[in-house]
Amino acid sequence: MEKYLDLVQEWAALYGIKVVGAIVILIVGRIVVSIVSSFVNRLLKRSNTDDALTNFFTTLTRVSLYIFVLLAVLNTLGVETASLIAVIGAAGLAVGFALQGSLSNLASGIMLILFRPFRANDLVETGGHLGVVQEIHIFHTVLKSPDNKRVIIPNSKVTGDSIVNYSAEGVLRVDLVFGISYGDEIAKAKSILMKILEEHELVLSDPAPTVAVKELGNSSVDFVVRPYVKVEHYWNVYFSVTEKVKTTFDSSGVSIPFPQRDVHLFQKNAS
């Protein structure tokens, strides 16, 4: 029995201080991690950083500090940490190669949140898709297409492609083309087109709409009609103006030409 007591006393004398030191480091480390991560979280929120990016950096800070605390605890207990760090580094490198695509999406997600080429509810065209931005995540971006489909695009594809933000300037130009026959008066048709735009409640007066002769086609005199509208009114104006032009031209005697072909029949002489 005395032999075991002596062994315990010897072990306590040898490792007791190390164990106590490790426990102290662990307790103090947890307090420091909590304080630092909370400070980072408040700092990012105060600077109006996106919630997704705030949560990401807060978690990254907490995990990184816990790794340092764990290494300090192991070092205090006498564990050789150099080889452990080498093993962790090798494992991290292997994981990095395995998750290369995910890490690329992660980096792209951070860039999107930092540089803000678009925000939620913006109408954008990117990655070969057109739609309204619903959510911006660390790994992917979610769009809602005009036909109400949910489109999920990897962030690496978003940043690797051109981004067209239709909502960035607040207004869009609607490009329409209407043709009249060569027998109709240009001034009359131009006046009708301009009046339609001026009376439309969704067409903006600033910037002012444009009506001008585009070209003299094979069978028609073509006008470009370019009203400016708010982004959400684009298709409403596009369809309603097109319909209004047709009905007004009909009632005003202005003809809209369409392709025609004259067929001439020749009777071959029987002789």
Q: Is residue 74 part of a domain?
A: yes
pLDDT at 112 (0 to 100): 82
Which CATH number covers residue 129? 2.30.30.60
pLDDT at 101 (0 to 100): 59
Residues 221 and 186 in one domain: yes
- Angle, alpha carbons 218-256-227 (nearest 5°): 100
* CB count in 10 Å sphere of residue 112: 22
Q: Is residue 47 part of a domain?
A: yes
pLDDT in tens, the chain (271 residues): 665 555 555 555 556 677 777 788 888 888 888 898 888 888 877 877 666 667 667 877 888 888 888 888 777 776 666 666 666 666 665 555 554 556 787 788 878 877 888 888 889 999 889 999 988 877 888 999 988 999 999 988 898 888 999 988 889 999 999 999 998 999 999 999 999 999 999 999 989 999 999 999 888 899 999 999 998 899 999 999 999 999 999 999 998 887 666 676 777 765 5
Phi, psi at 123, each rounded to 5° = -90, 115
Q: Is residue 29 part of a domain?
A: yes
pLDDT at 48 (0 to 100): 73
Q: Is residue 263 part of a domain?
A: no
Phi, psi at 154, each rounded to 5° = -60, 140
Residue type for 86, please? A
Q: Is residue 266 part of a domain?
A: no
What is the distance between the alpha carbons of residues 225 and 239, in angstroms, rounded to a whole number? Answer: 13
Q: Which of 98, 125, 151 marks a domain boundary?
A: 98
Q: Which residue has the tokens 């452990």?
A: 84
Range of the domain at 145: 117-165
Which CATH number covers residue 14? 1.10.287.1260
- Bridge partners (DSSP) of residue 124 are 131, 165
Residues 134 and 159 in one domain: yes
DSSP for 64-114?
HHHHHHHHHHHHHTT--HHHHHHHHHHHHHHHHHHTHHHHHHHHHHHHHHH
Under a CB-based contact definition with an 8 Å cutoff, are residues 126 and 158 in contact? yes
Q: Is residue 90 part of a domain?
A: yes
pLDDT at 81 (0 to 100): 63
* CB count in 10 Å sphere of residue 183: 9
Residues 64 and 86 in one domain: yes
Residues 156 and 186 in one domain: no
Q: Is 144 helix (H, G, I), strand (E, B) or coil?
A: strand
pTM of the complete model: 0.61
Q: Is residue 239 part of a domain?
A: yes
Residues 206 and 182 in one domain: yes
Residues 193 and 237 in one domain: yes
Residues 160 and 181 in one domain: no
What is the distance between the alpha carbons of residues 141 and 113, in angstroms, rounded to a whole number? Answer: 11
Residues 125 and 160 in one domain: yes
Which CATH number covers residue 198? 3.30.70.100
The domain tally of the chain equals 3
Q: Is residue 264 part of a domain?
A: no
pLDDT at 87 (0 to 100): 62
Residues 206 and 224 in one domain: yes
Under a CB-based contact definition with an 8 Å cutoff, are residues 177 and 225 in contact? yes
pLDDT at 83 (0 to 100): 64
pLDDT at 2 (0 to 100): 60
Residues 140 and 209 in one domain: no
Residues 123 and 43 in one domain: no
- DSSP designation for 120: T
Under a CB-based contact definition with an 8 Å cutoff, are residues 257 and 217 in contact? no
What is the distance between the alpha carbons of residues 186 and 220, in angstroms, rounded to a whole number? Answer: 11
Residues 47 and 82 in one domain: yes
